[in-house]
Amino acid sequence: MASTANFPSTFITLPNFSKTCRGSIFRKKKLFNFVSKKVVSCKANNADTSVNRFDRRDILLGLGGSLYGATSLVRDPFALAAPIAAPDLSHCAEATVQPTGGVSTTMGVDCCPPVSTTITDFIPPSVRKIRYRPAAHLVDSRYLKKFEEALRLMRELDKDDPRSFMQQANVHCAYCNDAYPQTLFPSQPIQVHNSWLFFPFHRLYLYFFERILGKLINDPDFAIPYWNWDSPSGIMPEIYVGSNSPLYDSKRDLSHLPPSLVNLNGGKDNDLSRERQIKCNLNLMYREMVRTKIPSLFFGKAYRAGSTADPGAGSVEGGSHIAVHIWVGDKEEPYHEDMGNFYSAGRDPIFYAHHANVDRMWNIWKTLPGKKRRDIDDSDWLDSAFLFYDENKNLVRVKVRDCLDSRALGYDYQSVDIPWLGSKATPRRRGRDPRRRPPSGRAPGQAMAAEINNTIAFPIVLDKVVRFEVPRPKKSRTKIGKKDDEEEEEVLVIENIQLDKDAPVKFDVCINDDDDEDDGKPVGPEDSEFVGSFTNLPHGHGQPGAKLTTTLTFSISDLLEELGIEGEDNIVVTLVPQEGEGLVSIGNVKIDYIRD
């Protein structure tokens, strides 16, 4: 494609694009005229005035705000790529945080950054030596003193300085609570969660945060710590607890301070013994990291320009990541601040240690066995772009392709034991037939409290435990003679999950969980029959009742072998509401095969 690097990088939003079929695309200081039929498609449904329904490939402008191949655009608009472009900061809007947990009022939050007229493209750093991010529970007093001084200086910066602590916290709010509209698709916000943007956005966010801290203490080798909550000793690091420290945040769940062990299963607190909680945590990490072998299941579903947000989270994002946010956030606060809500999560210094460990999972995942454990090679992912202010207050446009290798950015992680690598769950009873009538006497809310319902008609409101058979596609399922990169992954897909964005919802998913053992103990993460969970972290924006529509996908190939049912034509799926009963609907449940 022709280079357009000399074009201005900022667009003027068209005032009423659904009525704008005039063949002109406006920019600040420049007007380009093209043939209308070749550039702008007016395929909008006039009956639906709430959403501008254009074919995004007809009208897309390119990466980071540049016109993407003007010559090619006129000749073949359907050949355009569709990465999410970096936002126009001048179009940032107030984020509206919706009620949580019975609060009846909305709250407006101004989390827009200062606007700069100059944007520079990211240049990879010249790495003279690797900065190693330390495990937070292992840091010494010398490091802690330096870290506290850096954060103190960041907190003392002028509130309008884009490097200040509140401005840095607002970065997360703006990208996560829908403050930025997509370029040319103003009805669609930019949302970096529940999609393949999750890992690269947060990696880059922490990179610039870390560089700012290092600049403030004149130490270019400074590295932020990570909280390895995936460890059996996954308690909140002590360095964040002292109330006189700049690392402290008052809006945390006081019952979860050390020595309380983190619950990586999310939702409400449970009454598990410490030993069983450790086992569950390790089993959950095994599911998210070892059993998840292909990119789309690890990173999340594709999210392209013009698309609706929240197509589907990857395994870590939807699992342990959300669980830690909920576990740390203060449920006595009206919006579960700070960590318990996207808009405020960055206001807690522990957020950055939490996400450093999430970022560490990306590094670890790519080192695990299997040829498919690689970064996504789709250009729409690689060329998606974000804007961040760097340590010198320069506004920088950076793309996903710039952050695939943390060592190329100059940092890596201190090595610690990874005990979950071998923590495979065990079946409660291998090969049992789940179609027989479940035993009576189960406690309310347990997975076995419902009989199989093969007359279920989707969509359903999940207000009770439901169990139903799901047919497996008729195709060859054998792995004999197939290479690793030729195998398709069998997946369980829960489609069209709908709920209010602010709703605290959690439900568990089990497969063939029929069992009358263990004195009625419900299926849990330490059992192979437990597939995973859906958990929502409140992130409302806009009008009350704003809906989240998403998809949940689990890898089940290994699971079916563990259960001894890989030859079955049907499996029994159980959905168990744990929180927010009746607040979520399910559009469909199916089994599919995918190969990334």
Question: Is 193 labeled as ligand-binding?
Answer: yes
Cα–Cα–Cα angle for 323, 329, 330, nearest 5°? 140
3-class DSSP state of 319: helix
Q: What token pair was written down for 228? A: 């390895």
Determine the Cα–Cα distance for residues 346 and 330; give it in Å rounded to an integer: 14
DSSP state of 512: S
3-class DSSP state of 460: strand
Q: Is the bond leading into 237 cis (omega within 30 degrees of zero)? A: no
Question: Is 172 labeled as ligand-binding?
Answer: yes
Question: Is 354 labeled as ligand-binding?
Answer: no
DSSP states of 145-197 as a string?
Answer: HHHHHHHHHHHHS-TTSTTSHHHHHHHHHHHHTT-SEETTEEEEE---SSSTT
Determine the Cα–Cα distance for residues 223 and 136; give it in Å rounded to an integer: 11
Q: Decide: 87 and 183 in contact? Cβ < 8 Å.
A: yes
Question: Is 355 labeled as ligand-binding?
Answer: yes
Determine the Cα–Cα distance for residues 352 and 348; give it in Å rounded to an integer: 8
3-class DSSP state of 504: coil
What are the catalytic residues? 172, 193, 202, 321, 325, 342, 355
**Is beta strand 489-500 parallel, antiparallel or unpaired with respect to 588-594?**
antiparallel
3-class DSSP state of 27: strand
Residue type, 298: F
CA distances from 521 to 266, 428, 444, 517 (A): 19, 11, 12, 8
- The candidate with the shortest Cα–Cα distance to 503, out of 461, 553, 467, 531, is 461
* Residues whose CB is less than 8 angstroms from the CB of residue 157 and which lie 6 or more positions away in sequence, other chains included: 163, 164, 165
**Is beta strand 95-97 parallel, antiparallel or unpaired with respect to 107-109?**
antiparallel
Give the annotated binding-site residues for Cu cation: 172, 193, 202, 321, 325, 355
